[in-house]
Structure 1
Amino acid sequence: MGRGGNRNRGGNRKPAFRGSKGKNRNTRDTRTEPWSDVIRGNELFEGYYRNGEFLDEKEFEEMWKYLATNLPNSFRFTGTKADALAVREIFKKRYVPGITQVTFDGEPVDPPRPVNAFPDELVWDMKTDKKVIRRSPPFAEFQKFLVAETTSGNISRQEVVSMIPPHFLDVRPGMVVLDMCAAPGSKSAQLAEMIHGDEEERVKKAATNVDTNADFDNEGGDYSDGGRSTGLLIANDTDFKRAGMLVHQVKRLNFPNLIVTQHDASIFPSIELPSGLGEKRQYLKFDRILADVPCSGDGTARKNVNVWQKWTPKDALGLHNLQMRILSRGLQMLKKGGRLVYSTCSMNPVENEAVVASAIETCGGVSKVQLVDCSNHLPNLIRKPGLSKWKVYDTSTIGGEKKTAHLFNSWDAFCKTKNKYQEQEPGRTFSPKISEGMFPPATASEEERIPLERCMRVYPHLQDTGAFFIAVLEKKDDIKVSQVQTSSKETTSIPTVGLGAVTPVPSKSATDSEVEPTILEKQANAGSEAPSQKRKLERVEESTTPKRAKVLASNGDNVGTKGDASMQVNEAAEPTANGLANGNVTTSTNELVDALADKAVSKISSREIVKKLEPSSQTQKEYFEYLPADDPTIADILNFFGISDRFPRDRFMVKNKEGLLLNKLYYTSELAKTIISLNKDRGMKFVHCGVIMFVAHKTRDKDLLKCPWRLQGEGIKILAPWASKRIIKCVSRTTLYKMLIEMFPKLPKEGNTELGEVGEQLVNLEPGCCFVKIEKSEGEGFPFDMVFPLWRHPGSINLMVDKDDRKAILLRLYNEQNPNLINHVADAAKMAEEKTKANDAMEEETLGEDGEAFEGEEGVNEVVEEVIEE
């Protein structure tokens, strides 16, 4: 779904409404009137969808009526399925009954309802007016719950139609998935959950030497890494700031099988995998790809009122080429048998069916890429079939005025109309972006026909949502992305570049070797390292050649987009049997690329290369350095917690250039390590990877601690099943409540600890961090398993959960609406400050007398210093 600004970069996610010719679009809302006062009408907008024969007149009127109303609020329960169902049950039992009884102005108020299109009642929507929420105590209480759980990551406030595309990808644990245009990250979070599967339950069994496939439904997926999913999600966005938003969204999942990158999706670089000495390079192929591309966003008119004021047919015409390039690149990177979902939040077929049809034709037809029939998937989702016929909308002007609207049935009709006006009104201009690929494909035999009816259209009136388009494509065979025609039916060859000089490459025939595009392959490969990790062969395809260099123009913008110049970007193909037997491969475009790249390297310094590769908006480079498996500090930490030898030691990472173990220790999956280690010096822009597992405990007396490292909430669930030491079990709701409501409660050496069963276990435990484990129990117990890090001080303890999460847990488990957290250290610090002031005053009065400190002050100061250091 398209949501924003810089439309000429494949990762941007907002709808684009103004700006032109590749410049960044300023989509900041400049309205001065409230949303309720915005006129929801636009003659061009309505005229196209009324006269374009998308729906019959009666259904169009109903759809248009819904489109002009506000969108219902919707949310989704997230995380592991077990946790999501548990939080859902709390919501249903505690809040829904009270909300159902609410009336307003004598009329009953519609409560939140589950959306039938999705399974397990994990998606809900509500149409309640804000005035009701403000004035109704049951709704106000529910609102607090919603906000708290959203902050904790258990609920995602997401538009209903935005949740649809990930469901059609059919992601299973163990798959390698790419989200090409991921920000702000709600769909990435869905994909991450799917890759994760029921990993937690399988790891618990694997850690106790139980068969990880026993007692589980045969749902498929690869959990061969000690019960952990072997899959990986790469979430990409072209804009550095929006990539940061993406990181914030997905970090809440505490998911080590995740990498966030920052690249233009239309030229997403190939990811190299390890290959043996003398072997040809291998590149990662994805099992699943989501191409939720930038679009005009007219399907969001219910929530984005700017659409009504700014809609123009030129938005779709200007985005078609970019969408086509992103989809083509996605199909290139897909493995044979893999699935790609293409989606937009636009109703315009120029951005939807036209893009899909053009991409399939460009890739070699239905024998190479097929549309998947998903009519039996999500059967409760009401949808319309894709269009086989449509009209292209444009407005012509004379000197920027005298605007005339046109609907074209075919490319020939457009050309005839344009030629007619050139003779009658030479000054009248049409959009230069219109190309033949925007029109319905020519009639073909049944075997070669593209079944566009398998695409899916979701309109607002069908189930009271926004509008969305979804197409599911499956790659049947190796493909070749052929030349693309411009609006004038001319074809040009791909320009290649060696940093400064642009040289045309001769066009290639359909039998030539295929090449993988990347960013300045030769330059970026200097100094790359090959890790020892291996990956299953079904996830890679051998490349016969290095990858094509990224095309750069003198102004830094891309060259070779459809409508400006042709694109011949071909996929890495396996060499023929004869070629392998003879030890040679057909000469191709790559030799020219290599020569140009080598020549460029000899002419410019490495510093200039790095400057070219780094984005101007990225002010600080992120480093990802892995520690050796035999690192002594890691060994000491894991031994302190009794971590099983079967837990991997070689996946710990730090984020500093020198690779020093200074403050934070991150943990990643095996494949994430392989990809980052091999590609970080090849021009790949990695923004995020890894879950924080440990943080250094900074205190003056750290040398007295056996392990001056603290467990972190982000990674504790990953580590806990493998631990045999420092485990504290909490079974009482009263004990957990005390640890949540009080920070740094005292732990006396003798007598009642007032911490129940937890205090009894902690009394004889030496200072340091430990696990607090809570198991799911029926009745008045706990709704799901939990584990928290706890620091055992010499005279106190602290459950290491921040204030917001404490409040969310207190609300979730104890229905504590406005908890008053007690911070004993803060109180002690305040007392120490007051005593210090009193002591200073006394010293001034008794000048010359013994200036010893007040009795007990030294002990308080130690506590204050300790909390300051933390």
Structure 2
Amino acid sequence: MAGGSRGGRGGKGKAFRGKGNKGGGRDVRTEPWGETTRENELFESYYKLGGFLDEEEFRKMWATLATNLPNSFRFTGTKADALAVREIFKQRYIPGITAVTFEGQPVNAPEPVQAFPDELVWHMKTDKKVIRRFAPFAEFQKFLVAETTSGNISRQEVVSMIPPHFLDVKPGMVVLDMCAAPGSKSAQLAEMIHGDEEERVKRAANNQAPSIDGEGDYSDDGRSTGLLIANDTDYKRAGMLVHQVKRLNFPNLIVTQHDAAIFPSIELPVPEGSKKQYLKYDRILADVPCSGDGTARKNVNVWQKWTPRDGLGLHNLQLRILFRGLQMLKKGGRLVYSTCSMNPIENEAVIASAIENCGGVSKVQLVDCSDHLPNLIRKPGLNTWKVLDTTQVPGEEKTAHMFTSWETFLNTKEKYEKEDPDRHFSNKIYPGVFPPPIAPSEEERIPLERCIRVYPHLQDTGGFFVAVLEKLSDIKVTQIRNSYNAAEELKGKASTEEIEIDLEIEQDIEPGGPSSGVSSSQVPPLKRKLDDIDEPLPSKKAKNESANEQAESTPTIAGGSEGFIPPVDELSQAEKSTTPVNGAAKSEDSKPTSDAVRPTKLKPEAQNNNKEYFEYLPSDDPTVDSILSFFGISSRFPRDRFMVKNKQGLLLNKIYYTSELARTIISQNKDRGMRFIHCGVVMFVAHKIKAQDHIKAPWRLQNEGIRILEPWAKNRIITCKSSNTLYKLLIEMFPKLPKDGSHNLAEIGDQLNETDIGCCFLRIEQDDEAGFPFPMVLPLWRHPGSANLMVDKDDRKAILLRLFNEANPNIINHVAEQAKAAEDARKEVENGDKEAVNGGNDAEDADADTPMVVDA
């Protein structure tokens, strides 16, 4: 909708007033977190009077919002591994916890969240004082920490797990997570992209068809051809994201650092002389920065800092991010927009504005997902809502105003400009924040009821909003003049400066008039701290702080009065959907780039401002070739996906492996200014020992990448069939392998005696009777006189706890003991020498003090 107002239905309404205390933008809380008063009557009144829930259900919701959030977690990784770890958890820890009683009552044990399938998501509502008192909870906590470190468990809020499910990601899809930090949702998406890849790769390596059921694209010899690009605008938060996703060891993953609202177009290689092609995405997640008022159960700061202008200040940024996502989406692709806010200005208003600006429901439609996650209790999206704002005249009380339509706002604003010119309304109110007008026909109506609202009381969670959008056709946006709003434009005013309001005055609320639909008895008195009223509150995840600043000065897309030309690749050409196939580009709806709107040009920074460099090795690199030959890797395993992370492309310490599409994207875009901060799984690490000259391949396999390589290996495979032998390797570092062939490593020692010095695959097949609940492969180094699992201490402890229930293992390290003994001996000799020296000095001193007798 290029022009005109977007006023909703509703008449005039009187303002209502609320009391507030002094406060500022900073955290003014003085009491401890656990003692923070969970009350905010302006916050409460908006959700009570705004028509979200009926009165009885609102009371249930609000009471739940004021309680602590249950702890929740999810079993991760391949489905087979996740189910196996889940069973260990259920059989070992649940019985002990359920046997605990407190004050004569059984405690609340962890239980599966019914909204999700396969009992892979659990939450725990047990009080902390109970958890601290009883041993079964301490044992469970150690298990939780160990498995989280090893990547088998993700500690994540329940509502945060919902958006990836609605994306319906299949292996082989290209997915973008626009605002990804801290990374829990990205981890879910990565798992979906890879699917049951390991099983299919094994089939392919054994010359069997990898496509078992036709689900997903495994045409790369059983490997998923898909890719996840996880992005965040802040470098530190992107670092958190890297830490989260690195545990999963997925090569089909790139982490970038860009402002989501102007995320750069990713160029794809094309034949020389051809027009440029840009990556389009099958699925996009836009979990945007928001006011986060749905997180009030865990983020108690919300209770003190909530203002109606939080949502108003973020609406523009959210809309820009959503529109950029829709531009980059393929036709037929799906985008999920989500927030942890309950505010319709950040939710339904953003969805309606985006669809209108894209050309209506014939271009972008809301998907009906009522049959997806059927056990998730939800409420439909809103088709009508009210907009709340507060104003103040210096020295007077602050007044809260509830508007039902754009026209109501204009009339009220005009009235106050005449009667009370010192009173200022937020300049973030414009037609797009109100409900859309009545559509000419049902076919043209935006069915906002298809959005999904999850309230805290429905299944004991936080508050959350999800909308699933499908792109049906090309979208275009024309330039819209940047003006304050329609009313200001009519008056010829051009000012767009934000009005800074810091004063807080106590007030009473005035009951709403006809537009509020409530009586004075329904309106509670309001008290609140009014903090930097015109500035948006940072979101649940202060995800896009720099983008928030940019939003203050960037024209918006709105239903009529404010707008912008998105600084993106090819709006007239925006839907040139390109799907990479084997590193090339397959064009869909290709159109020439118009003269008016050209692709975003990135500065060729050549990664000068980045922490990492990504240089791919040639497919015939002799070092890589010698390593792969040493392990007997099949010639079918790709040779052109290995890279190093130094500017010169030198083989210094680590060699990484990535997917084909990741290689294509990084190679094509690394010199265009794209900020890549993570890609690749460590496959090999340089191994330096005294017998270096006697090693055919002085590189060791790395635990992160070994499972990718192992199905293709024919050499240096050591098979473990006994849990006792594995236990010894885990509990003892560098167990001896004497030259005479004697050892106490059973079948592993026998095989190692026939093996040259160097790294090996330790293969462990699934065998429930032997105590192996799922298959494993670990790197094992054969030293001249010993062996050692190349697994770090945390992973050793996690495996010992998982398989052998060893909560506090004493890991023996023979090399460290020998080094300590040598150091102690050296110090002892050194101390002995010092004593000898000191003794000699004492004798000299004694002689010096003795009088000399001279004979006459």
State the TM-score, normalizing by the size of structure 2.
0.83
Alignment match, 1:177:
175
- Output the amino acid matched with 1:474: E
What is the CA distance between 1:435 and its match in structure 2? 1.1
Post-superposition offset of 1:752: 3.1
What corresponds to 1:476 in structure 2? 472
Give the 3 Å change call, closer, same or farther, for CA 555–269 of structure 1 in structure 2. closer
Q: Please, which moves more after superposition, 135-144 or 56-65?
A: 135-144
The structural deviation recorded for 1:397 is: 1.3
- The alpha-carbon distance between structure 1 residues 486 and 467, as it changes in their structure 2 partners (threshold 3 A), is farther
State the structure with more CA Rg.
2
Query: What residue is the counterpart of 2:790 in the other structure?
Result: 800
CA contact (8 A) 2:410 2:487 kept: no
- What residue number does 1:734 align with? 724
- Structure 1 residue 710 corresponds to structure 2 residue 705: no
For residue 844 of structure 1, report the CA deviation from its aligned partner.
8.0
Q: Tell me what 1:289 maps to.
A: 284
**d(CA) in 1 for partners of 2:576 and 2:88?**
58
* C-alpha distance 347-844 of structure 1, shift in aligned 2 (>3 A): closer
Secondary structure in 2 matching 1:287: strand
Given residue 709 of structure 1, which amino acid in structure 2 is its aligned partner? W
Whole-angstrom CA distance in 2 between matches of 1:29 and 1:76: 32
In structure 1, the residue matched to 2:522 is none
Q: Which residue of 1 aligns with 2:595?
A: 588
Distance 2:593 2:769 in 1: 71
C-alpha separation between the residues in 2 aligned to 1:293 and 1:41? 26
| Change in CA separation of 1:382 and 1:788 when aligned onto 2, cut-off 3 Å | same
Contact 1:436 1:487 in 2 (8 A): no
Aligned counterpart, 1:61: 59
CA contact (8 A) 1:333 1:571 kept: no
- Are 2:486 and 1:489 equivalent residues in the alignment? yes
Maintained 8 Å contact 2:328/2:574? no
Q: Tell me which residue corresponds to 1:232.
A: 227
Q: Indicate the residue corresponding to 2:459 in structure 1.
A: 463
SS of 1:421 mapped into structure 2: helix
For 1:85, give the aligned amino acid: L
What amino acid does structure 1 have at the position aligned with 2:596?
T
Give matches, 1:88-107, under 5 Å: 88-107=86-105
- 1:411 paired with 2:409, answer no
Map 1:205-224 to 2 at 5 A.
Answer: 205-213=203-211, 216-218=212-214, 220-224=215-219
Name the CA distance, whole Å, in 2 between partners of 1:679 and 1:751.
54
Q: CA deviation at 1:180?
A: 0.2
**Residue in 1 aligned with 2:844?**
none
Distance in 1 of aligned mates of 2:189 and 2:548 = 35
Match of 1:567 in 2: 564
Question: Which residue of 727, 736, 742 maps to 1:746?
Answer: 736
* Aligned CA distance change for structure 1 residues 29 and 140 (closer, same or farther; 3 Å): farther
AA aligned opposite 2:348 = E
For residues 379-427 of structure 1, give each alpha carbon's deviation from its aligned partner in whole angstroms, at most 9, with x where no partner exists.
0000000000000111111138521111111111101000000011010
Task: Report the Cα offset of residue 571 of structure 1.
Answer: 5.3
One-letter amino acid of the structure 2 residue matched with residue 476 of structure 1: L
Question: For this pair of structures, how many residues does the alignment match?
Answer: 739
> Could you say if the C-alpha distance between residues 773 and 844 of structure 1 is closer, same or farther in structure 2, counting changes exceeding 3 Å?
same
1:836, CA displacement in angstroms? 2.8
Distance 2:414 2:632 in 1: 80
Q: Deviations over 1:604-634 (max 9, x none)?
A: xx9xx749x97xxx6x532100000000000
Structure 2 equivalent of residue 857 of structure 1: none
CA distance in 2 between partners of 1:624 and 1:575 (Å): 28
CA distance in structure 1 between the partners assigned to 2:175 and 2:593 by the alignment: 32
| Letter matched to residue 409 of structure 1 | T
Q: CA deviation at 1:831?
A: 1.5
For structure 2, the 5+ residue unaligned runs are 1-23, 490-545, 578-586, 838-856
- Counterpart amino acid of residue 589 in structure 1: A
Partner of 2:418: 423
Contact 2:238 2:257 in 1 (8 A): yes
Amino acid at match of 2:191: E
Q: Cα gap change, 1:697/1:552 in structure 2, threshold over 3 Å: closer, same or farther?
A: closer
Counterpart in 2 of 1:250? 245
**Letter paired with 1:572:** Q
Q: Relative contact order (alpha carbons < 8 A, sep ≥ 6): 1 or 2 greater?
A: 2
Q: 1:653 aligns with which of 629, 643, 646?
A: 643
Q: What aligned pairs does 1:630-645 form with structure 2 within 5 A after superposition? A: 630-645=620-635
Q: 2:203, 2:209 within 8 Å by CA — same for their partners in 1?
A: yes
Between the aligned partners of 1:556 and 1:465, the Cα distance in structure 2 is 30
How far did residue 568 of structure 1 move? Answer: 2.0
- Offset at residue 483 of structure 1 (A): 4.0
- CA–CA separation in structure 1 for the residues paired with 2:781 and 2:739: 16
- Per-residue deviation, residues 48-82 of structure 1 (Å, max 9, x unmatched): 00100110000000100000000011100000000
Question: How large is the Cα RMSD of the aligned pairs?
Answer: 2.7
Hey, what's the Cα distance between the residues in 1 that align with 2:801 and 2:576?
61
* Contact 1:394–1:431 (Cα < 8 Å) also in 2: yes
Query: Measured at CA, do residues 108 and 755 of structure 1 come closer, stay the same or move farther in structure 2, by a change above 3 Å?
Result: same
For residues 372 and 845 of structure 1, what CA distance do their matches in structure 2 show?
Answer: 85
Aligned equivalents of 2:484 and 2:385: distance in 1? 18
**In 2: Cα distance, 1:367 partner to 1:319 partner:** 27
Other-structure match for 2:380:
385
CA distance, structure 2, for counterparts of residue 841 and residue 156 of structure 1: 52
Establish whether residue 139 from structure 1 lines up as the match of residue 137 from structure 2. Answer: yes
Deviates more, 1:714-723 or 1:138-147: 138-147
Q: Supply the distance in 2 between the matched residues of 1:168 and 1:818 (Cα, whole angstroms).
A: 41
Measured in 2, the distance between the counterparts of 1:295 and 1:267 equals 18
Helix, strand or coil: the match of 1:589? coil
Query: CA separation in 2, counterparts of 1:553 and 1:256?
Result: 32
Alpha-carbon separation, structure 2, partners of 1:183 and 1:731: 41
Deviations 1:579-624 (A, max 9, x none): x9xx996853147x99xx8xxx9xxxx9xx749x97xxx6x53210
SS in 1 for 2:444: coil
Where 1:447 maps in the other structure, the secondary structure is: helix
- Which segment is superposed worse, 423-432 or 693-702? 693-702
Confirm whether residue 783 of structure 1 aligns to residue 773 of structure 2. yes
1:348 and 1:196 map into 2 onto residues whose CA distance is: 35
Q: TM-score, normalised by structure 1?
A: 0.82
Query: Aligned pair in 2 of structure 1 residues 749, 379: CA closer, same or farther (>3 Å)?
Result: same
Instruction: Tell me what 1:241 maps to.
Output: 236
Given that residues 328 and 481 in structure 1 are in contact (C-alpha distance below 8 angstroms), is that contact kept between their aligned partners in structure 2?
no
2:619 to 601, 621, 629: 629
Deviation at 1:764, TM superposition (A): 2.2
Local SS of the residue matching 1:687: strand
Note the C-alpha offset of 1:830.
1.5
Residue matched to 2:262? 267
Instruction: Report the Cα offset of residue 265 of structure 1.
Output: 0.3
Provide, for residues 207-247 of structure 1, a one-character-per-residue CA deviation record: whole Å limited to 9, x for no partner: 1111112xx344x2000001000000000000000000000
Number of the residue aligned with 1:324: 319
Q: Identity of paired residues, percent?
A: 71
Checking the alignment, whether the CA contact within 8 Å between 1:286 and 1:333 is kept in structure 2 is: yes
Matched with 1:677 is: 667
Amino acid at match of 1:346: S
Of 299-308 and 693-702, more deviation after overlay is shown by 693-702
| Distance in 1, Cα, partners of 2:28 & 2:757 | 57
2:529 is matched with which residue? none
Which letter maps to 1:489? A
**Whole-Å Cα distance in 1 between the matches of residues 644 and 714 of structure 2?**
25
Residue 27 of structure 1: CA displacement?
A: 9.1
Q: Which stretch of structure 1 is more off in the superposition, 835-844 or 330-339? A: 835-844
In structure 2, relative to structure 1, the CA distance for the partners of 1:40 and 1:586 (3 Å cut) is closer
1:58-108 deviations in Å (ceiling 9; x for gaps): 000010000000001110000000000000000000111111111111111
Distance 1:843 1:413 in 2: 94
Match of residue 374, structure 1, among 369, 372, 382 = 369
How far 1:130 moved relative to its partner?
1.1
- Structure 1 residues 344 and 586 mapped into 2: Cα distance closer, same or farther (>3 Å)? closer
Deviation at 1:772, TM superposition (A): 0.4
1:501 matched to which residue of 2? Answer: none
Name the CA distance, whole Å, in 1 between partners of 2:742 and 2:572. 70
Once the two structures are superposed, residues 401-456 of structure 1 have per-residue CA deviations (whole angstroms, 9 ceiling, x without a partner) of: 52111111111110100000001101000001111100000101111100000000
| SS of residue in 1 equivalent to 2:486 | coil
Deviation at 1:779, TM superposition (A): 2.5
Judged with a 3 Å threshold, the aligned counterparts in structure 2 of structure 1 residues 559 and 552 are, in CA distance, closer, same or farther, namely: farther
